[in-house]
Structure 1
Amino acid sequence: MNDKHILVVEDEAITRAKLVGYFQHAGYRVSEAENKSQMMVVLENHHIDLVMLDINLPDEDGLMITRNLRSHSNIGIVLVTGRTDSIDKIIGLEMGADDYVTKPFELRELLVRVKNILWRISLTEQKSVIATEDEEDDDLFHFGQCSFDIPKRKLLKNNIPIKLTKAEYDILVAFVANPSRVLSRDRLLNLIEHRVDAPNDRTIDVLVRRLRHKIEDNPKEPQIFTTIHGEGYLFAADIT
């Protein structure tokens, strides 16, 4: 039996029941809510590892809920939406969602995405182990106040684990592997297009902005991820 606890927030009773039943059958502990009010009650009374959140809720927009959750928590967030406009998906990423699926969705694919997110979260929760590790490794990079272990997918700033989504991790790897070299948006897109539905230049800008907020001391005046107008982005930090 999986010890991870998933919260399904969906106002459509049939869709909610389908999601709850499927993930319970997959071995997860599952709670449910049909609106934000019920969701908050569950979050206050249980440790939830991941929220599966419908964008169109009756009492508050799911995008705003995502932003509020992410402002104080590293909980996994998967947006479930019936909207087909790609801008909503980009905004969802910008607000802090880990992933999103569009209705109608394939349950098996959704399960794989949820497993990947929970696995990434579990890495950052091993704080005591991570913080005390002091080993030399050819794939351990230091820049600024950060250390980045690529094989272990561990990013620390001031010895505090920083959670990265898969797309953020992929782009950070590209930057670290190409220091002081301008990377175009097209090149960065090639690294994540198999991970993100309908990626575009805006997707890259969103992900770089999120990395700035997680890594830069002053995201408004970035010293590590610098913009080269008309060309792309440059990783300007010294790497050891």
Structure 2
Amino acid sequence: MNKVIVAGGPSLVRTALTRVIDASDTLRAVGTAAHSEELADLLDADVDADVVLLDRSLHTGRQGGFTALVTEICAVTRTVVFGAPSAQEVDAQVRAGATGVLGADVSAAQLVAALETVCRGGLVVALGTAPAVNRAQARVTPELTRDLSVREREILILLSSGQDTASIARDLGLSPLTVKTHITNMLSKLGIRRRGHLIAFAYESGLIVPGITPTSFIPPPLCAPS
């Protein structure tokens, strides 16, 4: 059973999130915190949480604000940010170390699935349901993914769905070394240093559209072969 701390947000929201978590078969809420000081006390009390679900509305007086708080928590345990207002939030929170960034209008099933994926070591970005997704789709900028091959884009989609190198290799019939090589090539092409930043790029560029892009989807080449 994976242990979750729910921190920040209105009391009613924390209560609702706790009930959703406790209703699952794999998660259990082990504490709630109204503000960053209470969260620090919980973490210092050694509750052995597997993940902190951190509401984006939580205010903190520390230098660097909310992003600095995310970095501090990530040094102790996995962190999922809940209530991200826009796609622009994704990169900042992933850079800070968050392994999950969720919009405020995700469903209960999406929340549970995201927490389960993060507890298994994956990274999840889900910014909302269909109406928000359609707006995101309008911001697709194909030129950002133009330098990636079809295979690289396929691997990036699977990576963004929370799969690790071994499962991607198995699904695509490749060796793990080949998958790692493709990931390294993507990092180099895009000037990105970490896998988490690759996933943030996949969402911000429009390559991944939450709720629409299936994990088996392979984007067509953006340019006709010469």
TM-score, normalised to structure 2, is 0.54
Cα-to-partner distance string for 1:35-89 (whole Å, 9 max, x where unaligned) = 101101111111111000012213344322111223x33x2111012522x2222
* The one of 53, 63, 66 aligned to 2:67: 63
- Counterpart-to-counterpart distance in 2, 1:179 and 1:198: 19
1:15 lines up with 2:13 in the alignment: yes
* The one of 191, 204, 209 aligned to 1:199: 204
Partner of 1:26: 24
Cα-to-partner distance string for 1:193-229 (whole Å, 9 max, x where unaligned) = 7x8773239xxxxxxxxxxxxxxxxxxxxxxxxxxxx
Cα-to-partner distance string for 1:139-192 (whole Å, 9 max, x where unaligned) = xxxxxxxxxx94279xxxxxxxxxxxxxxxxxx97552477799644xxxxxx7
Which residues in structure 2 correspond to 1:157-172 (within 5 Å)? Answer: none
Cα-to-partner distance string for 1:3-36 (whole Å, 9 max, x where unaligned) = x210001231121111001101114321111110
- Counterpart-to-counterpart distance in 2, 1:96 and 1:116: 16
Q: Do the aligned partners of 1:82 and 1:104 also contact (CA within 8 Å) in 2?
A: no
Q: Which letter does structure 1 place at the counterpart of 2:108?
A: L
C-alpha distance 196-32 of structure 1, shift in aligned 2 (>3 A): farther
Q: Which letter does structure 1 place at the counterpart of 2:42?
A: V
Higher strand share: 1
Partner of 2:105: 104
C-alpha distance 101-40 of structure 1, shift in aligned 2 (>3 A): same
What's the offset of the Cα at 1:91? Answer: 0.3
RMSD: 3.5
C-alpha distance 80-181 of structure 1, shift in aligned 2 (>3 A): closer
C-alpha distance 177-79 of structure 1, shift in aligned 2 (>3 A): same
Count of residue pairs the alignment pairs up: 146
TM-score, normalised to structure 1, is 0.51
Q: Do the aligned partners of 2:165 and 2:180 also contact (CA within 8 Å) in 1?
A: no
What's the offset of the Cα at 1:109? Answer: 0.8
Provide the secondary structure at the position in 1 that maps to 2:80: strand
Unaligned regions of 5+ residues in structure 2, if any?
123-163, 169-176, 191-197, 207-226
Higher helix share: 2
Q: Do the aligned partners of 1:55 and 1:63 also contact (CA within 8 Å) in 2?
A: no
Q: Which letter does structure 1 place at the counterpart of 2:39?
A: M
What's the offset of the Cα at 1:105? Answer: 1.7
C-alpha distance 36-151 of structure 1, shift in aligned 2 (>3 A): same
Q: Do the aligned partners of 2:88 and 2:204 also contact (CA within 8 Å) in 1?
A: no
Q: Which letter does structure 1 place at the counterpart of 2:21?
A: F
- Counterpart-to-counterpart distance in 2, 1:97 and 1:181: 21
C-alpha distance 196-29 of structure 1, shift in aligned 2 (>3 A): farther
Provide the secondary structure at the position in 2 that maps to 1:151: helix
* The one of 148, 151, 164 aligned to 2:166: 151
> Highest relative contact order (Cα 8 Å, sep 6+), 1 or 2?
2
- Counterpart-to-counterpart distance in 1, 2:96 and 2:54: 13
- Counterpart-to-counterpart distance in 1, 2:44 and 2:78: 16
* The one of 177, 181, 191 aligned to 1:176: 181
Provide the secondary structure at the position in 2 that maps to 1:14: helix
Partner of 1:77: 79
C-alpha distance 58-182 of structure 1, shift in aligned 2 (>3 A): closer
Q: Which letter does structure 1 place at the counterpart of 2:102?
A: V
